[in-house]
């Protein structure tokens, strides 16, 4: 019977994944190395090969962490409201608010999507991410509206990242409301 893992050992694997995500966000997936991850995690270089079967596996788990975090933020924001107007506010906040589509997160999504083009596990994470976001929106909207809004939520922050300027919340609200009103006209007498 082996000795029980110490607190530092049990958290080491998680620290490596968190560090890998930080390295990816700062240097890009293409420049992520075992050495950079180990330095960031504050662990011996050999720890990476002890806990993971190669750099690809570490990167896959880093993207799992990213997609899980972002999906939770997305889901929590949309599930917290109960009215149509509240759902529109939630969509606007997902696009314009700093909690969900922060520049660092968008950089992570760029990296994840690019890596997913050539990695089946991360490609599936990207598909799961789409399903989760659409499932969250479907609590308030019909399928066609959900598809349109999800594309808007995904695309607008990417444009903001490339343009290095924030979206105009009033314009975003106008566009989101126009999509919702066009695809799901409000019922008379209902807010």
The predicted structure's pLDDT at residue 5: 43
Q: Within 13 Å of residue 141, how many CA atoms lie on the same side as its CB?
A: 29
pLDDT band at residue 6 using 50, 70 and 90 as cut-offs:
very low
Write the secondary structure of the chain as one string of H (helix), E (strand) and C (coil): CCCCCCHHHHHHHHHHHHHHHHHHHHHCHHHCCHHHHHHHHCCCHHHHHHHCCCHHHHHHHHHHHHHHHHHHHHHHHHHCCCCHHHHHHHHHHHHHCCCCCCHHHHHHHHHHHHHHCCCHHHHHHHHHHHHHHHHHHCCCCCHHHHHHHHHHHHHHHHHHHHHCCCCCHHHHHHHHHHHHHHHCCCCCCCC
pLDDT band at residue 3 using 50, 70 and 90 as cut-offs:
very low
The predicted structure's pLDDT at residue 167: 86
Angstrom distance (rounded) from CA 143 to CA 57 = 35
Q: Helices 143-163 & 120-137, crossing angle to 10 degrees?
A: 120
pLDDT of 7 over the 60 cut: no
Tokens of 23: 């390295």
Q: What is the pLDDT of residues 66-84, one digit of tens each?
A: 999 999 988 999 999 999 9
Apex CA 39: angle with CA 34 and CA 42, to 5°?
Answer: 120
pLDDT of 166 over the 50 cut: yes
**Domains, the chain, ordered by start:** 7-183 (1.10.357.10)
Q: What is the pLDDT of residues 119-164, one digit of tens each?
A: 999 999 999 989 999 999 999 999 999 999 999 998 988 888 888 8
Q: What is the pLDDT of residues 75-108, one digit of tens each?
A: 999 999 999 999 999 999 999 987 777 888 889 9
**pTM, rounded to two decimals:** 0.86
Q: What is the pLDDT of residues 29-62, one digit of tens each?
A: 999 999 999 999 999 999 999 999 999 999 999 9
pLDDT band at residue 191 using 50, 70 and 90 as cut-offs:
low
């Amino acid at each position: 019977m082996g000795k029980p893992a110490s607190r530092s050992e049990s958290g080491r694997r998680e620290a490596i994944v968190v560090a890998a995500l930080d390295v990816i966000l700062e240097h890009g997936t293409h420049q992520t190395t075992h050495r950079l991850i180990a330095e960031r995690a504050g662990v011996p270089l050999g720890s990476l090969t002890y806990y993971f079967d190669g750099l690809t596996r570490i990167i896959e788990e880093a993207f799992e962490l990213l997609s899980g975090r972002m999906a939770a933020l997305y889901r929590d924001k949309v599930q917290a409201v109960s009215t149509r107007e509240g759902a529109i506010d939630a969509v606007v906040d997902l696009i314009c608010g700093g909690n969900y589509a922060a520049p660092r997160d968008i950089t992570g999504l760029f990296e994840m999507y690019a890596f997913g083009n050539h990695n089946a596990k991360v490609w599936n994470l990207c598909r799961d991410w789409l399903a989760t976001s659409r499932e969250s929106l479907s609590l308030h909207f019909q399928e066609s509206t959900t598809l349109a809004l999800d594309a808007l939520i995904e695309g607008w922050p990417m444009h903001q990242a490339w343009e290095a300027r924030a979206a105009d919340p009033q314009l975003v609200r106008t566009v989101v409301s126009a999509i919702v009103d066009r695809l799901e006209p409000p019922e008379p007498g209902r807010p």
